[in-house]
Structure 1
Amino acid sequence: MRTAYQYKLRPNKDQIATMELWLELLRRQYNYRLGERFSWWSENRCPVNACPLIMPIPQLRDNPDYYYQKKDLVNTKDKFPEYKLIHSQVLQDGIKRVKLAFDRWFKADKNGKKLGKPRFKGKGRYHSFTYPQIKQDCIFNQRINLPKIGNVKLIQHRPLPDGFQIKTVTISRKADGYYVTLSLEDKSVPSLNSQVKPTSENTLGIDLGLKYFLVTSEGESVPIPQYYRKSQQRLKTLQKRLSRKKKGSKRWLKAVKAVGKQHKKVADKRKDFHFKTANELLLKADIIAHENLNIKGLTKTQLSKSINDAGWGQFLTILTVKAENAGQKTIGVNPRNTSQNCSNCGEKVPKELSQRIHSCPHCGIVIDRDLNAAINIKNRAVGHSVLKVRGVRRNGGTVKREAHAIP
């Protein structure tokens, strides 16, 4: 089992200066190694028995792959002695990041579409570095011992779980300071989520939306908080102050930091809401069924601001991770026609997005549109095609109903 704990750091001025220097040197090294790979790829993209048409025939040279670039770090330290200040494994991890970024460029996603080309990091755009290995007793007396940086004070708001070993340590720079993320592992904890089978009793369907954050198949709804929209006026004021400052000045840097802190405040509120909502759902059922949405595609529509404000992607990731840690499971189902099909008889009832009530002319059921979708999601996860419903038909609103699966 793998998990991660994050704590806030309280470094002194010398430690802050050291971490800032490391991040800047690692940024330069990242850009150089990425450029080295781009240069070799552009000159050697053609096979040896073909003549390139876009440039003269290049001289043969070794491919600057992961192991070549790690070996070349010795030459980097000879030419630039300041790189000797960085821990050797931290420097090697920077080479690994270049490899992962470059490999993702040629790797297609599940839809067969290739990902974007890696970009060079501008000044201030390199935010973290990682120790791939560290001593297990590195934390003591509210301090963490970071090699070549020293004992850094941290706010350990919760103790580390018993039996877990520290695998990696990542130092991150955010708008309000530095954080340390400990990646923990305990191989003795088995993964039980694969043993859980979906049934009508242990499965809960949820329909994510913008009127409500989610509606469950039991008829419960969670209101959407809209943290970003509520803070837009404050962000607008801070952005105006930033626009009046001279770029690069001390006041401009102070204004940039204020904007960053406000954005982080919104993100922290949203993340806290997602964790609490996920915990509540996992207390109600062993299996949570949701739509397997193309969230990246939905964020390119006119509803992009509302979808990004809701944070569906982050919520589903948190829900999946917490379910695995608790020995539970999440199931993503095909979202096609979950709102259009009737959860009572299975017939398709076309409706516009503005129609919030599902009224089926075939069986006469009248329920909320999102509730109808949540029930369909649950049925698809369980494997049932239709639920037979006993309830009272009304001209508007939702109805309280009892349901049982048709065998």
Structure 2
Amino acid sequence: MDTYYVILYSGRKTTKGKMKTSYQYKIKPNKQQVEKIDQTLEKLRYQYNYMLAQRFDWYEQNLCAVDKCPLICHLPELKEQPNYYSQKASLVQLKVDRPWYKDISSQVLQEVPKKVELAFDKWLTGDINGKKSGRPRFKGRGQYKTFTYTQFKRHHFVANKITLSKIGEVKVIVHRPIPDGLTIKTVSITKKADGYYVTLSLDDKTVPTIKPDFNPNNIIGIDVGLIDFYVASDNTRIAAPKYLRKAERKLKSAQRKVSRRKKGSNRRKKAIQKLGKQHKKVADTRKDFHFKTANNLLKKYDVVAVEKLNIKGLAKTRLAKSIHDVGWSQFTTILGNKAENAGLKVIAVNPSGTSQDCSICGHKVKKPLSQRMHNCPNCKANLCRDLNASLNIKARGTHALKAQLMSS
């Protein structure tokens, strides 16, 4: 058996007076269980592609280009549109026609039409904000990596063992216990480059509260960047670690090995696995840095003010690689989750003009990105451009926090 290391992910979300959090543990399935998990993922992939093809077939047959229709045309007989409920009902007959699908839990199988529904709806109608996604793609071999048990009972997870339907009792590396009072809602099994993980989605019925000794005046503003990961209003700064840049040589070497191997060969599969491990190592190291940085900030300050950046827009520029490397979006998410868990605050402010406005007198000093010093002709202030921005962020965060406290 291989030895796996523990990687922790924890995120929290508040909905209607409840807290949703997730704990992820490394699992160590035996050889037979690994085979069952892999077979389950492949069968689910086939079914996902089949149901997606049903959707596309209906869409193509009932599509009519209004600007190209002749004056006299034959209207085809419209077929019933496949939806979540009709495709879910077809799973009963699926197990009759293909008995090998009986080896998959019904809960797991019913998640497939739900995924297809979400992917298809995001393409045609968009999400809750109306933003549409691209045309859904069929999943190739090895691209379906997660399945979920939508109902789970707590007594199936005891000590370091978890019982999964149709798979059996699997050993779990429990690096931290689940707190009392949390209810397990769903359980997901994920295959990653370095092994298998179980993610527990938990419900905490207690409403999050601000800690008793919360001090709204103990606030700091941070300005994130590419050279310095952040510059804070207390004149502290942390250099950007650039994990991807440092690992580029190893990643290129691993990618070349994949390219040289024959497609479909075992050597290519091993090379792909090694490449995946290299990428995962970079991602895990970056996440660990984000957790530690957020933790250090929240140890000293009760309120952290950050800019509400359009990171997706910035990631489309020529600086995309560096922006993905620093991982601002992941950091702000982790910072917000940790602050909420600790009863602290993270305030997102408007980023417009934080670098141009003088933090002392408010005078606008236009300067290009290459100019790293802020020199104000009005009040003669001379300081680092990023420090000036962090002071403006702190001031805006203080104003926004006061408005929140007055309204609550």
Structure 1 counterpart of 2:232, one-letter code: T
The verdict on how the C-alpha distance between 1:110 and 1:354 changes in structure 2, with shifts beyond 3 A counting, is farther
Counterpart of 1:122 in structure 2 is: 140
Range that drifts further, 316-325 or 165-174: 316-325
The one of 226, 247, 255 equivalent to 2:271 is 255
Q: Structure 1 residue 280: deviation in Å?
A: 1.4
Residue 160 in 1 paired to residue 161 in 2?
no
Structure 2 counterpart of 1:70, one-letter code: K
Q: Structure 1 residue 356: deviation in Å?
A: 1.1
The verdict on how the C-alpha distance between 1:43 and 1:306 changes in structure 2, with shifts beyond 3 A counting, is same
What is the RMSD of the two structures over their aligned residues, measured on CA atoms? 2.5
Counterpart of 2:208 in structure 1 is: 191
Q: What is the number of residues matched between the two proteins?
A: 380
Q: Secondary structure at the match of 2:48?
A: helix
Q: Secondary structure at the match of 2:354?
A: coil
Counterpart of 1:238 in structure 2 is: 254
Q: Structure 1 residue 56: deviation in Å?
A: 5.9
Counterpart of 2:6 in structure 1 is: none
Residues 267-288 of structure 1: per-residue CA shift (max 9 Å, x gap): 1000111111111122222322
Structure 1 counterpart of 2:199, one-letter code: T
Residue 139 in 1 paired to residue 161 in 2?
no
Whole-Å Cα distance in 1 between the matches of residues 113 and 127 of structure 2? 23
Q: Secondary structure at the match of 1:159?
A: coil
Whole-Å Cα distance in 2 between the matches of residues 196 and 34 of structure 1? 53
Residue 95 in 1 paired to residue 113 in 2?
yes
Residue 380 in 1 paired to residue 399 in 2?
no
Counterpart of 1:176 in structure 2 is: 194
The one of 328, 340, 343 equivalent to 1:312 is 328
Counterpart of 1:368 in structure 2 is: 384
Q: Which has the higher helix share?
A: 2
Q: Secondary structure at the match of 1:364?
A: coil
Query: Taking every aligned residue pair, what percent have the same amino acid on both sides?
Result: 55
Gaps of 5+ in 2: 1-18, 401-408
Counterpart of 2:352 in structure 1 is: 336
Counterpart of 1:297 in structure 2 is: 313
Counterpart of 2:168 in structure 1 is: 150
- Is this contact kept in 1: 2:214–2:302, CA < 8 A? no
Counterpart of 2:233 in structure 1 is: 217
Range that drifts further, 301-310 or 114-123: 114-123
Whole-Å Cα distance in 2 between the matches of residues 194 and 105 of structure 1? 43
Residue 13 in 1 paired to residue 31 in 2?
yes
Residue 266 in 1 paired to residue 282 in 2?
yes
Whole-Å Cα distance in 1 between the matches of residues 374 and 213 of structure 2? 32
Whole-Å Cα distance in 1 between the matches of residues 143 and 93 of structure 2? 25
Counterpart of 2:103 in structure 1 is: 85
The verdict on how the C-alpha distance between 1:198 and 1:93 changes in structure 2, with shifts beyond 3 A counting, is farther
Q: Structure 1 residue 175: deviation in Å?
A: 0.3
Whole-Å Cα distance in 1 between the matches of residues 39 and 130 of structure 2? 40
- Is this contact kept in 1: 2:233–2:391, CA < 8 A? yes
Range that drifts further, 85-94 or 75-84: 75-84
The one of 221, 244, 252 equivalent to 1:228 is 244
Q: Structure 1 residue 378: deviation in Å?
A: 1.7
- Is this contact kept in 2: 1:90–1:132, CA < 8 A? yes
Whole-Å Cα distance in 2 between the matches of residues 56 and 228 of structure 1? 57
Q: Structure 1 residue 382: deviation in Å?
A: 2.3
The one of 36, 59, 83 equivalent to 1:65 is 83
Whole-Å Cα distance in 2 between the matches of residues 62 and 286 of structure 1? 56
Counterpart of 1:205 in structure 2 is: 221
- Is this contact kept in 2: 1:204–1:288, CA < 8 A? yes
Gaps of 5+ in 1: 385-407
Residue 280 in 1 paired to residue 296 in 2?
yes
Whole-Å Cα distance in 2 between the matches of residues 13 and 61 of structure 1? 46
- Is this contact kept in 2: 1:292–1:335, CA < 8 A? yes
Q: Secondary structure at the match of 1:72?
A: helix
Q: Secondary structure at the match of 2:154?
A: coil
- Is this contact kept in 1: 2:211–2:342, CA < 8 A? no
Q: Structure 1 residue 291: deviation in Å?
A: 1.1
Range that drifts further, 364-373 or 104-113: 104-113
- Is this contact kept in 2: 1:23–1:127, CA < 8 A? yes
